[in-house]
Structure 1
Amino acid sequence: MKKLWTIITILGSALTLSACQTPIQNSASMNQKDQIVDVSVMAINDDSDGDGVPDDLDQCPATPYNMVVDERGCPFAPIGIGLKMEYRAFFEKGSSELLPKYQIELDKVAAKMNEYDKSTFRIEGSASEDEMDKGLNSLAKNRALMVRGYLLSKHSIDAKRFITSSCDARAPIAPSDSEDVFLNRRVYGLLTEPEAESNYLYPDDSMPKTCVEF
């Protein structure tokens, strides 16, 4: 009889423990099901010039390869310069037509000119040797005028804030007999504040001493 009573007591204790553990286990299971895993999705932005700044934020989208840039995607300006923005447009052989993609970049230049209302924009037109050989002596000038005219007509920028020059074929950045000769059919622009321009070191594709203002 005593042995039977011991067995009954043990069974009762086991049932009690089982009853206590079941809600805890069920509760833990429910909590796991109720948890929501937050998986962040990383947006992929194009960076056409490889400077680490996405194109939709890049204010200098044609930065040369391996150049250190600031958070705007523009090369760091020398000490004391508050504004420096470069612009480049390239043209078909014998043409001064400004393609839409270069118009979009000019819209960004205009935005900066409105932000810095004392800034000036230097515009230098160039041509390739084979264009000059065909007697297209005014082509470089016309290219510079196309860029200037776009900013005047679309954005109503004061004409006094432009400095236009023609470099003809005197400032090449690619050999005339290479496949990169198209780089010589261009306009180079530099937006700076007046007091800063004299301190600016021009890049290789801009040679003010060889260009003639008009």
Structure 2
Amino acid sequence: MNVKLRTITLMMTGVLALTGCQTADLSKQTSKTINMPTVVVNVDSDGDGVPDELDQCPNTKMESNIVVDDRGCHLTMGPDMSLKIEYRAFFAKGSSELLPKYQAELDKVSEIMNTHTTSTMRIEGGISENEIDDGDPIAKSNTLAKNRALMVKNYLLLKHGIEPSRLTTLNCDARAPIAPNDTEEGRAFNRRVYGLLTEPDSDYPINLKDGTCVEF
């Protein structure tokens, strides 16, 4: 008899415990809203730095040496409708050889110069610091940067017949780097020619004022 009472008592205790679980007060629980971050992907199919949704010239490339404007088109006119075209060529260490891809870009420059017959071009030649540090005799003699600028000038003179009076060459040597010289990537950017095609009366923000680049 006592065993039956104990069994019944245990069963009632279990039922009460379950009832307590089932009737728990949920009124004080609150819900939480989780804000998930929204990821926006700007697709730039041609890699010119302008998203497809804004790109009006979808076939231009960032590696093209004639820059693009904020519409993704080759920049041929400035905001004030003045001519402004940039040209860049890069060289192997110790070399002034103008590679075919940079010659092709000069062909485009010459076409514009033949259309804008009063336009002029300034051509800056530069070298990396390690071309001097490594004992390159041409770099040390201050002629490697000149040779690079002259390669661009002579290409326009000899192949396209551009008048020499429209072309100005400047020796920037290693004094006007566009990238740090402590990495190979930066040094490669500094082994360059930079050209700017403008009308004669246009402002030309180069390093002549402080004597960084020297006309020759």
Q: Quote how far apart the aligned CAs of 1:208 are.
A: 3.5
Number of equivalences: 160
Give the match for residue 64 of structure 2.
Answer: 61
Tell me the amino acid that sits aligned with residue 107 of structure 1: D
1:50 equivalent to 2:49? Answer: yes
8 Å CA contact retained: 1:85, 1:190: yes
Match of 1:189 among 160, 185, 195: 195
Give the match for residue 21 of structure 1.
Answer: none
Structure-to-structure mapping, 1:32-43, within 5 angstroms: none
TM-score, normalisation: structure 2: 0.66
Identity across the alignment (%):
56
Q: Quote how far apart the aligned CAs of 1:50 are.
A: 3.2
How far apart in 1 are the matches of 2:73 and 2:66?
A: 11
Tell me the amino acid that sits aligned with residue 130 of structure 1: N
Q: Quote how far apart the aligned CAs of 1:49 are.
A: 2.5
**Superposed CA offset, 1:146-202 (max 9, x none):** 000000111000111001100000001111111321000000000001112x2x4x3
How far apart in 2 are the matches of 1:110 and 1:76?
A: 16
Q: Quote how far apart the aligned CAs of 1:87 are.
A: 0.2
Structure 2 residue runs without a partner (length 5+): 1-44
How far apart in 2 are the matches of 1:114 and 1:63?
A: 17
How far apart in 1 are the matches of 2:194 and 2:82?
A: 20
**Partner of 2:165: helix, strand, or coil?**
helix
8 Å CA contact retained: 1:61, 1:73: no
**Partner of 1:96: helix, strand, or coil?**
coil
How far apart in 2 are the matches of 1:48 and 1:107?
A: 23
Match of 1:159 among 160, 164, 174: 164
Give the match for residue 73 of structure 1.
Answer: 74
- Structure (1 or 2) with the greater helix fraction: 1
How far apart in 1 are the matches of 2:157 and 2:66?
A: 25
Tell me the amino acid that sits aligned with residue 90 of structure 2: F
8 Å CA contact retained: 2:58, 2:72: no
TM-score, normalisation: structure 1: 0.66
Structure 1 residue runs without a partner (length 5+): 1-45
Match of 1:142 among 144, 147, 153: 147
How far apart in 2 are the matches of 1:111 and 1:75?
A: 12
How far apart in 1 are the matches of 2:117 and 2:103?
A: 20
Give the match for residue 86 of structure 1.
Answer: 86
How far apart in 1 are the matches of 2:58 and 2:148?
A: 29
**Superposed CA offset, 1:39-74 (max 9, x none):** xxxxxxx7343343344x67x93467xx74357422
8 Å CA contact retained: 1:127, 1:140: yes
Give the match for residue 109 of structure 2.
Answer: 109
**Runs of 4+ off more than 4 Å:** none
8 Å CA contact retained: 2:128, 2:174: yes
8 Å CA contact retained: 1:128, 1:184: yes
8 Å CA contact retained: 1:86, 1:191: yes
